[in-house]
């Protein structure tokens, strides 16, 4: 994606909203300013025209192919150790009502960074100074609708047509004016997709994707027994762009759900990928329901635990490939597939590649779905059928590869996979069939002495074989961004941020963030030919941190409380 030069209006913040740059704990941290508006905090009182050159990070996974590979060259292995913090924003200092946890993928468009928080606040920051331009907060109805939800994360927004689009936990789509932070439009998903309500078990955590005038969405809730779908809306007015949603499983009472009291699962809880050349879209689907109990759902249970290709204009099926048949282990094909042009056996191929929670990685022809690489194991795999006494399954219910995204580096021809080695102790259901829950079983305590960790796995696309695999200190719940200079950046659950040389896997830089954990990938952008890296931290100290060459190199302190559980792996 090329840089572009624009003349922009640089907002001078109103006094009540100004966040002056100050130093806290030797880091440049934006000073807090709370908003009490139920919809938006506007900030511009005057403007001046300044010409800047931008290299954006415009979508949740950088490009529509979801490669998370940026063309920027300013940060190299020779100078990466000069990276330091240039500003941070503490969400709870800005607004004490912000919920714990953060899994937001930052995006940057023309000098403005847009970051969401748990429970659907959105902030627009000056991407270089860290000043808050506006804050958007959900309405009172949202608070009532979501008061009983235990998963409250949000993984980002998309900016297009002068608006910021977000999916709300209570199953609405909202558009926000990108300059003012005021609500433009809101639509209730259930108006076009029957039954999509919190009461029925649905909720929304993923970032939407914009393409060719449409907003594409999926949903969460597979562990609640809902019916998975994807849907398209017109970005202009949030009216339906398709005649009907694409449902990933049949209606309850039909086909393999004939004797099932649940709606089949197969939710699409990560963003979709788009092929701009063909108009095809790709997405991964979650587990069937009941989750770990298969007696009432015979057969393979299509299209759960699958990667599915549709026509983005119509929502019609083109192909689908299943990664786990008749899943009994919660092995969603959850993460966003990548669309890449790679060298395979010496010839260029356009492929869709994907790693699942099963610990296996796949590559298919993007147009036909023909398999190129099948079930390449990147973790320990051992998943016997659950019994009454209980079994230990690998890699466990958190992954394999959870929602954390991969990246592809065309120079090395390597795909990098963020892995999790965290086995689970699963007990088979031992009750009356009519009383089984949507989750279908119990996940108990892992035996003492087993310490979860993460992995960075490099797949050589020419051969489909593992080039190297590095063990990380903690589980890889964040994911990657890679650069044209052969570096990949990622964060770990203990707040450690690292850069590796992609070709060798060698760690060339690391920084301890001052926050509870990292469960989202970095974004890299440029302004006036200077490169910046942004990343969010979660837990009890949700923040956004921005790095640049020449920044403050003072290390933070790792949280002693590595958080496992719902915030880590939840949909």
Q: Which two tokens stand for residue 323?
A: 């990664």
Structural domains present in the chain: 65-549 (2.140.10.10)
CA distance 322 to 242: 25
User: Average pLDDT over the chain, rounded to whole?
Assistant: 90
Lowest-pLDDT range of 47-56, 131-140, 405-414:
47-56
Strand 407-409's sheet: what is its strand order?
A: 407-409, 414-421, 453-460, 465-472
510-516-518 Cα angle (round to 5): 55
Global model pTM greater than 0.85: yes
pLDDT value at residue 9: 38
Lowest-pLDDT range of 41-50, 237-246, 552-561:
41-50
DSSP letter at 148 equals: T
Q: Which two tokens stand for residue 327?
A: 């899943």
Lowest-pLDDT range of 137-151, 428-442, 538-552:
428-442
Strand 338-344's sheet: what is its strand order?
A: 338-344, 347-355, 360-365, 371-377
Burial (CB < 10 A; 0-12, 13-18, 19+), residue 139, is middle
pLDDT in tens, 209-253: 999 999 999 999 999 999 999 999 999 999 999 999 999 999 999
Check whether 66 has a pLDDT greater than 90: yes
Check whether 6 has a pLDDT greater than 80: no
pLDDT value at residue 231: 98
Cα-only R_g, the chain: 22
Q: Tokens 């606040």 identify what position?
A: 121
Q: Which residues contact 36 (CB under 8 A, 6 or more apart)?
A: none
pLDDT value at residue 559: 67
pLDDT value at residue 561: 53
- Write the DSSP string, 478-492: S-EEEETTSEEEEE-
pLDDT value at residue 25: 36
pLDDT in tens, 308-332: 999 999 999 999 999 999 999 999 9
Mean pLDDT of 473-495: 96
């Amino acid at each position: 994606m090329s840089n572009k030069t624009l003349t922009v209006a640089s907002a001078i913040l109103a006094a009540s909203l100004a966040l002056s740059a100050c130093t806290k704990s030797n880091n440049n941290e934006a000073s807090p300013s709370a908003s009490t508006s139920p919809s938006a905090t506007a900030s511009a009182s005057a403007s001046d025209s300044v010409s800047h050159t931008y290299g954006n990070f415009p979508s949740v996974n950088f490009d529509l192919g979801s490669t998370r590979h940026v063309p920027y060259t300013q940060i190299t292995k020779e100078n990466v150790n000069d990276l330091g913090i240039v500003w941070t924003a503490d969400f709870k200092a800005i607004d004490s009502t912000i919920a714990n946890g953060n899994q937001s993928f930052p995006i940057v468009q023309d000098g403005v960074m847009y970051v969401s928080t748990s429970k659907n606040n959105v902030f627009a920051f000056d991407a270089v100074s860290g000043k808050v331009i506006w804050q958007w907060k959900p309405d009172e109805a949202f608070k009532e609708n979501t008061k009983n939800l235990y998963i409250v994360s949000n993984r980002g927004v998309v900016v297009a047509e002068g608006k910021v689009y977000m999916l709300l936990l209570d199953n609405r789509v909202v558009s926000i004016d990108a300059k003012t932070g005021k609500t433009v439009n809101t639509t209730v998903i259930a108006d076009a997709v029957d039954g999509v309500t919190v009461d029925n078990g649905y909720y929304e955590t993923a970032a939407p994707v914009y393409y060719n005038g449409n907003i594409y969405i999926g949903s969460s809730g597979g562990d609640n027994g809902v019916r998975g779908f994807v849907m398209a809306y017109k970005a202009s007015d949030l009216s339906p762009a398709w005649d009907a949603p694409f449902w990933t499983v049949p209606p309850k009472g039909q086909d393999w759900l004939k004797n099932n009291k649940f709606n089949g699962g197969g939710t699409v809880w990560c963003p979709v990928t788009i092929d701009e050349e063909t108009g095809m879209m790709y997405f991964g689907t979650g587990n069937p329901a009941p989750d770990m109990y298969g007696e009432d759902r015979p057969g393979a249970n299509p299209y759960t635990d699958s990667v599915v290709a549709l026509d983005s204009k119509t929502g019609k099926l083109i192909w689908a490939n299943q990664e786990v048949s008749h899943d009994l282990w919660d092995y969603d094909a959850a993460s966003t597939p990548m669309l890449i042009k790679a060298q395979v056996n010496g010839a260029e191929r356009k492929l869709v590649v994907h790693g699942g929670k099963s610990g296996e990685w796949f590559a298919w022809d993007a147009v036909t779905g023909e398999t190129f690489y099948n079930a390449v194991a990147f973790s320990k795999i051992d998943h016997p059928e659950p019994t009454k006494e209980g079994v230990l399954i690998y890699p466990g219910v958190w992954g394999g590869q959870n929602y954390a995204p991969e990246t592809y580096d065309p120079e090395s021809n390597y795909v990098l996979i963020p892995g999790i080695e965290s086995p689970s102790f699963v007990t088979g259901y031992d009750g009356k069939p009519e009383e089984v829950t949507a989750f279908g079983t119990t996940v108990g305590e892992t035996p003492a002495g087993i310490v979860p960790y993460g992995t960075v796995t490099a797949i050589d696309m020419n051969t489909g074989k593992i080039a190297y695999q590095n063990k990380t200190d903690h589980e890889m719940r964040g994911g990657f961004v890679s650069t044209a200079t052969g570096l990949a950046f990622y964060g770990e659950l203990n707040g450690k941020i690292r850069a590796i040389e992609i070709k060798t896997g060698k760690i060339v830089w690391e920084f301890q963030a001052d926050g509870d954990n990292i469960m989202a990938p970095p974004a890299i952008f440029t302004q006036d030919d200077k490169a910046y890296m942004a990343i969010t931290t979660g837990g009890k100290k949700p923040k956004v941190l921005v790095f640049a060459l020449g920044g403050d190199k003072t290390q933070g302190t790792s949280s002693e409380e590595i958080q496992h559980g719902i915030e880590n792996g939840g949909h």
